[in-house]
Amino acid sequence: MSISSLNGLQVLVVEDEMLIALDLKAMLSGLGCVVMGPVPNSNAALRIAHATPLHGAILDVNLRGRPSFDLADELRRMGVPLIFATGYDESFLPDHLRDVPRITKPIQRAQIAEMMLAAFVPAQACP
């Protein structure tokens, strides 16, 4: 798969630090994604998720001092693939969310592109 596989993917960005959110939005837009948000909290994220089909979501683990785990659970119930963006290590995550891919901040373009290809783009069968 190539980066061009990300073109047109609708990706929700949930990040409460505005500079990080805007940087991530610019990065994803540059990869061809349609960025939903960024939004700073779970309520705004759920409004978008219920109104718009999503190919994936990138969630900050800590939103204004509260973990985003309930949001992650709801998005998973809706079938939305996730990537956590965090400075925390895996031990901070509850057991049932440890399989969610995790990218460490500061986010690098090549890393997020690779993770999105793996998590958000369905594997194509070889002919």
Asked whether the predicted pLDDT for residue 15 surpasses 50, the reply is yes
pLDDT of residue 123: 59
Express as a percent the part of the chain with pLDDT over 90: 87
Pick the CATH number of 3-120 from 3.40.50.720, 3.90.550.10, 3.30.43.10, 3.40.50.2300: 3.40.50.2300
pLDDT of residue 124: 47
As a 3-state breakdown, the chain gives helix, strand, coil percent values, each rounded to 5, of 45, 20, 35
* pTM assigned to the model: 0.94
**Confidence band of 96 (pLDDT split at 50, 70, 90):** very high
Closest CA to 120 of 5, 4, 16: 5
Alpha helices (H) in 31-96, listed in sequence order: 42-51, 69-77
Q: CA 70 from chain center: how many Å? A: 15
Break the chain into its structural domains and give their ranges.
3-120
pLDDT of residue 13: 98
**Confidence band of 94 (pLDDT split at 50, 70, 90):** very high
